[in-house]
Amino acid sequence: MLPNDLSPVPEFPTHVLPGAVGQLVRGAALSLGAPADFIALPMLAIVAGMIGNQRRIQLKPGYEQRAILWPFVVGVPGSMKTPAQQAVMDALNQLQRDAYDRYGFARTAYEAELSAWAATNKKDRGPEPKPPTMLHYYCADITLEALNAIHEHAPGFPVVRDEIVSWIKSLDAYRKAGDRQAYLSLWAGAPVKVDRKSGPPIYIPEPTVSITGGVQPDMLPLLAEEAGRRDGFIERILWAYPDAPPARWNDNQLDPDLTRAVAEVFTYLRFSGYSAQEIRLDPDAKREWTNWYDENSQIANGSSGLAQGFAAKLPNQCARLALVLHCLHHPQDSDQTLVDQQVMMDAIELAEYFRAHALRVLPFFGSQTDDISGLLPRIRRILKRHGGEWVTRTMIYNGLGGHVSADDISDVLDELLDIKVIEYQRVVGERGGRPTEQYRWVNGDTEQRNNVTTVETGVTHDDDYSHTMVCHICHALLTTQDEREAFTCAACQAVRS
């Protein structure tokens, strides 16, 4: 049974996509009359596929992630899902056509060389010529055999499908607990080893395969059984279910130069020549990551079922998104190996976007998602982003995508006021009228105690503590008894003097 009411969701934050990629997403959405989400999600998967295993992001020694994303879009028939995906594929197919043409020429030369070799006396001819290999920029055949064969000759690639339900439900149709488990491992980036009866074995130490596609809302309940298996497969998907009524006609056109420019970006990423280049976080980016990671842990702990599984995997997703955004900002510049604060904030905004859309999708699988939305950290980031300036409720509402109810926003703002990390004022205009409600972030500088703010919450974290503490430098919660007793913040190493 379908949910009667869909939860509010934000629009895709296209401002996080730099250069020609962002311009194409916005231009295609305008031309098609479709939500930008439908273009942006396949774009993320394709960019991740072009990066492949050439770059990785290190959050700390021993914790690294590669660019592996499974973003799927949900939309009703007529909402332009397929044309939107094709707008991104046009850039990729420019490269694939060129590769196919080069392969054709190479194949003709190979066949001529092979004929000459075969006609030569066995004593005089050298080694048999080797057939050429075509460059693959993407894969549409989603069988494991096809993926493994292509990955042998590519650092990574995206799998692009129009409809995704039939693929998910077909897993293990012929091999029980085989293909499905293999894809779970692919998402995790585990090595692939295939022993074949005919032909040499295949070993891929760092597979990097992204998958994207679409699904109609009416088809989502068909995945309820898959979700019920609770093996983490459904939770690995980055869902987007935007508000998308059937598209109306317009005369807007996508600039073909944008398609060529995006194809050039894909080329830079695919042929970067890097060998597992490590990307790290600069100190400001690390602080943003740490704060968000701890917030997400609290959300995960307060969730259950699919919601908890999704939140548990969101840090890996966020790190991968940060890697993709960093590479888009620096597709050619090998000297830029540090993710800056703004890129990390953009990656976090994307992670929260996907969290909100998961709240809309997971109920189709019978999952309770009351605690997954993370509205408080989203509002807090909007206020912090304005650097202490006054922000109106309208600005907050728009920053959340224009879909969150006024009551929900009020509840969060009241909570932030209670712990004294924001200020509130009512401003009457020169011409009178209804006062404007404004809020601003105050950096938690009130009630400081040796760099730590004590906040009464009524939440018991330990037997002897009925409060938690917040580091006023980075706003991370001090959740363990040792941290609170020492006033020590592991996030920013702020220690009581």
d(CA 261, CA 88): 12
Domains 14-95+135-272 and 374-442 share a fold: no
pLDDT band at 22 (very low <50, low <70, confident <90, very high): very high
CA dihedral 242, 247, 248, 251 (to 10 degrees): 100
* Average pLDDT score over residue span 253-268: 95
Quick one: which of 276, 255, 240, 244 has its CA closest to 76? 244
Task: Report the predicted TM-score, pTM, of the whole model to 2 decimal places.
Answer: 0.79
Q: Looking at residue 173, what is its pLDDT?
A: 56
Q: What is the 3-state secondary structure (H, E, C) of 227-290?
A: HHCCCCCHHHCEEECCCCCCCCCCCCCCCHHHHHHHHHHHHHHHCCCCCCEEEEECHHHHHHHH
What is the reported pLDDT for 355? 93
Which helix (H) or strand (E) segment is 373 a member of?
none
106-110, 125-129, 290-294, 363-367: range with highest mean pLDDT: 106-110
Ordered strands of the 71-74 beta sheet: 157-163, 209-215, 71-74, 238-240
pLDDT surpasses 70 at 175: no
Check whether 119 has a pLDDT greater than 80.
yes
> Of 492 and 200, which is predicted with more confidence?
200
Report helix, strand or coil for 328: helix
Work out the pLDDT band at 490, boundaries 50, 70, 90: low
User: Domain 374-442 is in which class?
Assistant: mainly alpha
For residue 441, pLDDT beyond 60: yes
Mean pLDDT for the stretch of residues 83-102 = 95
- Name the DSSP class of 67: S
Query: Where do the domains of the chain lie?
Result: 14-95+135-272, 374-442, 445-497
Reply yes or no on domain 14-95+135-272 having CATH 2.40.128. no
Q: How far is CA 194 from CA 139, 176, 179, 182, 263, in A?
A: 19, 17, 12, 11, 33
Strands 192-194 and 277-281: unpaired
Contact 159, 140 (CB under 8 A): yes
pLDDT at 329 over 50: yes
Confidence of residue 483 (pLDDT cuts 50, 70, 90): low
- Over residues 264-276, mean pLDDT: 87
Average the pLDDT over 162-191 and give the result. Answer: 78
Task: State how beta strands 452-455 and 468-471 pair.
Answer: antiparallel
Confidence bin at 448 (pLDDT 50/70/90) = very low
The pLDDT, as a whole number, for residue 54 is 94
Residue 243 CA, distance from chain mean position: 19
Q: Which pLDDT band holds residue 359 (cuts at 50, 70, 90)?
A: confident
Q: What is the mean pLDDT of residues 40-56?
A: 96
Tell me the two tokens of residue 266. Answer: 């894909």
Q: Are strands 477-478 and 432-441 parallel, antiparallel or unpaired?
A: unpaired
pLDDT tier at 114, thresholds 50, 70, 90: very high
pLDDT of 468: 46
Q: Does residue 73 register a pLDDT over 70?
A: yes
Structure-block tokens of residue 84 = 């939107």
